[in-house]
Structure 1
C-alpha cells in the first residue's frame, strides 16, 4: 500500500495544491469548513425542527424516520460546500481539481461501483446465512422502492462529502507538503476514525468501530492515490453505505430509509462485534476488487 511508484497518479491531484502547501492554509481551511458546516446545519435543523414540532419524539439527530434520515444525509452537502469555499479562498483551487479529471473520475467510479455490485451479489449467495435472528421489516417494499432514487442520491451526497474532505482536501493538502504516505494517508484516516468514535451510541464497540473506520480510510486513501481521482473511493464508500443505510440498517440511528433493520443494536457486544469482524473481511475484499477493476 505504500509503494511510491504505485502512487504516481496521485500527482495529478496535487499540482495546484503544491503551489500553496503551507500547513496554516489546511488548518484555517478546516476551521472554515467546520464553521460553515455547523452554521448552515444549525439553520437547516432549526427549520426542520419547526416542521417536526409535533413529532419531536422522532429525534432529528437520530434520523429514525425516512424524512429525518434524508435531511441528515443531504445536510452533508454543506461539508462539500465548505471544502469548495476553503479550497478556493486559501489554495485557489476548484472543487473539480480535488475530484480529479471529470471524465476519468466518472469512468473510474463506474468501473469500481459495477465491480462491487457484482461482488455484493456473489456474497449474497455465500455463507454465513442470516444474522442470528430474523430481520425486522422497516419500510413497506412499495414505499422503499418509491423512495430509493432520492435515498440513493442522499447517500451519494453524504459519502461524496466525506471523501471530498478526508481523501480530497486533507489528504491532498498534506501530500502537497509531505512526501511520506504515512503522513498523508495515515493522518486523514485517524481523523476519519475519530469522527466515527461515538461511545454514547456504540458503547463497548466504540473503539472497534473507530478502528474499522480507520482501516476503511486507509483503503480509500490508497485507492485515491493509485487512481488519481476520488471516483474509486466514493464508489466504495457509496456501495458500503447504500447497503448499510438503505438495505439492512442498525435500528438506533440513520435507519429511516432502510428496508430491513438488524436484530441487534450498535452497543450490542455480542452479535454486532462478530459481524464487525465479518465486515472487516468484506471491506478488504471490496478494496481488492476495486483495485482489480481499476486495472481493466
Structure 2
C-alpha cells in the first residue's frame, strides 16, 4: 500500500506519541466540545429562539435547529486545536496538512466528484420508487444555501479532523500497522452513526456502512498526506444527503427534498444502502485518481 505520504502528517505526531496523551486528549476534546456547546446554548439559543419562535435542536427538522446542530461542530475543531497545543505541542495546521497541499487536493477531488454527481443524476433510475417530497421552496433553499454550505463544511471538517486527523495520527504515531490506525477510528466513527430510534432494524447496517466509509477515508488520507481529499469527499456526500435529498426521519431542516421513505423502513431502504455502497466505492476510487493527477 502506498502510504508514504502519510508521513507528512505523522512528523509532528511522532514527537509525543504516548498513548496516554491520546487517551487524555480524547477525553479533553469531548469535555471541551461539550462545555463550549453548553456555553453557546446559554448565549446563542435565546437569540435563535427569539428570532424563530421555535427550533428543533435535537432532530434538526427545521432550518434553525439544523443550523445550530451543524454550527456546534465548530467547537469540536476548537477543542482539538486546544488539546493539540496543550498536550502535543503542535498546531491544528500540522494535523490537517500543508496548506497548499490541502487546498490543491481538496479542489482536485471536489472537481471530479461534481462531475460524478452530474453523471449519477443524469443516469437512470430517476426516482427512488416513489417521487421525492418537497421540503423547502426553491427560493428559500437558495437563499439559505451559502450559509448551509459553510455549515456543512464546518461539520465535515470537524469529523475528519477528529477521526482521520487526531485519532488516526495519534495511533499511527505509535503503531505502524494500518489495521490499528485505519480500523479503530473507523469503528468509533461508525458507532457515532448508531441511531436505533430513527433507523430501527437498519441501525446496524448504517453503522457498518459508516465504518466502511471511515476506513476508505482513512486510506485516502494516508495516500494523500493531507485531510483535504477526505474533507472533500465528506463535503460532497453531506451536501447531497443533508441539503439536496435528506431523510424524513431527522437532520433535514436545510434540505430541498426528502426521501419518500424513513430510515427505519427496512424494505425500502436496504436496497438503497447497497446503491450507496456502490456510489461510495466509486467516489473513493475517483478521489484516488484525482490526487494522482
What TM-score do you get using the length of structure 2 for normalisation?
0.96
Aligned to 1:11: 7
SS at match of 1:19: coil
Instruction: For 1:114 and 1:140, locate their aligned partners in 2 and report how far apart those are by CA, in whole Å.
Output: 27
Aligned to 1:218: 215
Displacement of 1:270 after TM fit?
Answer: 1.3
Listed one character per residue, the Cα deviations across residues 3-51 of structure 1 (whole Å, up to 9, x for unaligned) are 2xx0000001011110100000001101110001111222333445544
Aligned to 1:35: 31
Q: What aligned pairs does 1:78-227 form with structure 2 within 5 A after superposition? A: 78-227=75-224
Contact 1:49–1:60 (CA under 8 A) maintained in structure 2: no
Instruction: For 1:89 and 1:49, locate their aligned partners in 2 and report how far apart those are by CA, in whole Å.
Output: 30
SS at match of 1:60: coil
Displacement of 1:81 after TM fit?
Answer: 0.7
- Point out where structure 1 has 5 or more consecutive residues left out of the alignment: none
Displacement of 1:129 after TM fit?
Answer: 2.1
Listed one character per residue, the Cα deviations across residues 116-162 of structure 1 (whole Å, up to 9, x for unaligned) are 00000001111222011111111111111111111000000000000
Contact 1:69–1:254 (CA under 8 A) maintained in structure 2: yes
Q: 2:71 aligns with which of 52, 71, 74?
A: 74
SS at match of 1:130: coil
Q: What aligned pairs does 1:50-69 form with structure 2 within 5 A after superposition? A: 50=46, 51-52=48-49, 55=53, 58-69=55-66
Instruction: For 1:159 and 1:64, locate their aligned partners in 2 and report how far apart those are by CA, in whole Å.
Output: 19
How many correspondences in the alignment? 291
Listed one character per residue, the Cα deviations across residues 218-266 of structure 1 (whole Å, up to 9, x for unaligned) are 0100110000000000000000000000100001211011000111111
What TM-score do you get using the length of structure 1 for normalisation?
0.95
Displacement of 1:272 after TM fit?
Answer: 1.3
Contact 2:37–2:72 (CA under 8 A) maintained in structure 1: yes
Is the deviation greater in 111-120 or in 130-139?
Answer: 130-139
SS at match of 2:95: helix
- Point out where structure 2 has 5 or more consecutive residues left out of the alignment: none
Displacement of 1:198 after TM fit?
Answer: 1.5
Instruction: For 2:3 and 2:92, locate their aligned partners in 1 and report how far apart those are by CA, in whole Å.
Output: 21
Please, what is the CA RMSD of the aligned residues? 1.3
Displacement of 1:271 after TM fit?
Answer: 1.0
Instruction: For 2:291 and 2:57, locate their aligned partners in 1 and report how far apart those are by CA, in whole Å.
Output: 39
Q: What aligned pairs does 1:245-260 form with structure 2 within 5 A after superposition? A: 245-260=242-257
Is the deviation greater in 266-275 or in 19-28?
Answer: 266-275
SS at match of 1:15: helix
